[in-house]
Amino acid sequence: MICVSIELKNYRNIEEARVSFDEGVNVLIGDNAQGKTNLLEGIYTFAMGKSFRGVKEADVIRFGENEALLSLSFENSLRSDAQNLKMHLKKGVRRKIELNGLKIDKIGDMIGHFRAVLFCPEHLSLIKEGPSMRRNYLDVAISQFRPVYLRSLQRYSAILEQRNKLLKNAEEDRKTLDGTIELWSEQLAKEAALIASFRAKYVSLVGEAVEKYFSEMTGMRERVEMQYLGSSKQRYEEYSDTALTEKRYFELLTTNIDREIGAGSTLWGTHKDDIEILINGKSARVFGSQGQQRSLALAMKLAEGDICYEETGDRPVLLLDDVLSELDGTRRSFLLSKVKDRQVIITSCEHIDYGCAKIINVENGKYTE
């Protein structure tokens, strides 16, 4: 997968720009608040359909303007010629997306055409932060090569929202549950079983890659294990049996209604999942040093790219947003040594020896080679 170029108009602090990239390492260098991360954010939007900064769509439109235009040219192994994705954002209007001139109605239908792995300073807390960050890691990774997983996530979210509303209303009037809670529970259990099967398999695959990378970084002195923790408390191998998992979740969701009414929310489901990560048999989150936790986060992001390549035959573009400055010299050198066979786009304030790289200077939303 190669990002050939991106064009942006009225996006963040960028009035208008077109930036081309080499197939190897590309480095965006400049002071803070000049537009380095904004460019990466624009690229990533075409991979996951939204900003990685967690902002509203209208917030990326340049101040004082009413609309923004984004266009990405990219190549993959499926076609010999470049493909093009376009996005038109306008305040108060639903965004418009095109792939090679053809309209795309749903974000889900765009995800998976252009693939990217993002590694930013926030990801260095992937191990020590709460379960939601690790669930997001799984969702982003799997969605880019399994459209059925993304659609199931979207259905699950909608069903969960409705079920939670029902439970909250039941605190005042339990009759509101009559004839409906079982239906919502059945639908939620079905989607949960599918999501859990994908997550359990992915954790198994990514765990092997993480173990390899972590061993290299630590001189083979420490052993890493990754385990999928579903709220249904099943054994790992049972999650491949979706009928069994669906039955288990349905039982949990229909025999603990009083507890859920008291909590005002759904207490079982894949929105409660986590990944347990062990170093030499002990919890990396609880007992791991900061250095070990950062090494694991780095290994997980590299492994994310590897699994995507194994599943699709294309190496995703690696986006490194100011992460090198957060790593010590050993981990920085390790990371750069592992990305020579793929396209990398790096943002940095420092002039580090990146080897043979294309350098792009960034100043006030303008980009010059």
pLDDT of residue 104: 94
pLDDT > 70 in the chain, percent: 98
3-class state of residue 102 by DSSP: strand
Per-residue pLDDT at 15 exceeds 90: yes
Same domain, 308 and 322: no
pLDDT of residue 169: 85
Q: State how far the Cα of 124 lies from the Cα of 294, in Å rounded to an integer.
A: 5
Q: State how far the Cα of 239 lies from the Cα of 213, in Å rounded to an integer.
A: 26
Show the DSSP H helices in the chain as ranges: 36-48, 107-110, 131-143, 147-170, 181-217, 242-254, 257-263, 284-287, 290-312, 329-337
Residues in Cβ contact with 3 at an 8 Å cutoff, skipping those fewer than 6 apart: 21, 43, 72, 73, 74, 114, 116, 317, 343, 345
Query: Given 284, 312, 340, which residue is the final one in a domain?
Result: 312
* H and E: helices and strands count for the chain: 10, 15
State pLDDT tens for residues 93-139. Answer: 999 999 999 999 988 899 999 999 999 999 999 999 999 999 999 99
Same domain, 272 and 213: yes
Residue 313, H or E segment: none
State pLDDT tens for residues 139-175. Answer: 999 999 999 999 999 999 999 999 999 998 887 776 7
Same domain, 229 and 304: yes
**CATH number, position 224:** 1.20.1050.90
Q: State how far the Cα of 216 lies from the Cα of 203, in Å rounded to an integer.
A: 20
Tokens of 158: 């909608």
Query: Given 312, 327, 347, which residue is the final one in a domain?
Result: 312
Per-residue pLDDT at 28 exceeds 90: yes
Same domain, 17 and 78: yes
Per-residue pLDDT at 351 exceeds 80: no
> Does this model's pTM top 0.85?
yes
pLDDT of residue 176: 66
State pLDDT tens for residues 73-83. Answer: 999 887 778 89
Domain span at residue 179 reads 124-312
**CATH number, position 362:** 3.40.50.300
Per-residue pLDDT at 214 exceeds 70: yes
pLDDT of residue 332: 87
Same domain, 272 and 165: yes
Same domain, 279 and 331: no
Same domain, 97 and 130: no
pLDDT of residue 185: 95
The average confidence (pLDDT) of the chain is 92
Query: Given 312, 332, 353, which residue is the final one in a domain?
Result: 312
| Of the listed ranges 19-28, 46-55, 282-291, the one predicted with least confidence | 46-55
Q: State how far the Cα of 293 lies from the Cα of 186, in Å rounded to an integer.
A: 38
A 10 A CB-CB count for 140 gives 18
pLDDT of residue 78: 78
Q: Are 206 and 303 in contact (CB under 8 A)?
A: yes
Q: State how far the Cα of 366 lies from the Cα of 13, in Å rounded to an integer.
A: 9
Same domain, 304 and 343: no
pLDDT of residue 134: 97
Same domain, 295 and 148: yes
Residues in Cβ contact with 90 at an 8 Å cutoff, skipping those fewer than 6 apart: 61, 66, 67, 68
Mean pLDDT, residues 256-266 = 91
281 exposed, middle or buried (CB, 10 Å; 0-12, 13-18, 19+)? exposed
State pLDDT tens for residues 300-317. Answer: 999 999 999 999 999 999
Provide the residue type at 34 as one letter: Q
Same domain, 261 and 359: no
Q: How confident is the model at residue 54 (pLDDT cuts 50, 70, 90)?
A: confident
Calculate the CA dihedral of residues 92, 94, 99, 103 and round it to 10 degrees.
-130
219-226 own/partner pairs: CB under 8 Å, 24+ apart: 222/279, 222/280, 222/292, 223/279, 223/280, 223/281, 224/277, 224/278, 224/279, 224/284, 224/296, 224/299, 225/277, 225/278, 225/281, 226/275, 226/276, 226/277, 226/278
Q: State how far the Cα of 290 lies from the Cα of 284, in Å rounded to an integer.
A: 10
Task: Using the Cα atoms of residue 255, residue 259, residue 264 and residue 267 in order, give the sign of their dihedral.
Answer: negative
Query: What's the total number of domains in the chain?
Result: 2
Per-residue pLDDT at 88 exceeds 80: yes
Q: State how far the Cα of 152 lies from the Cα of 134, in Å rounded to an integer.
A: 18
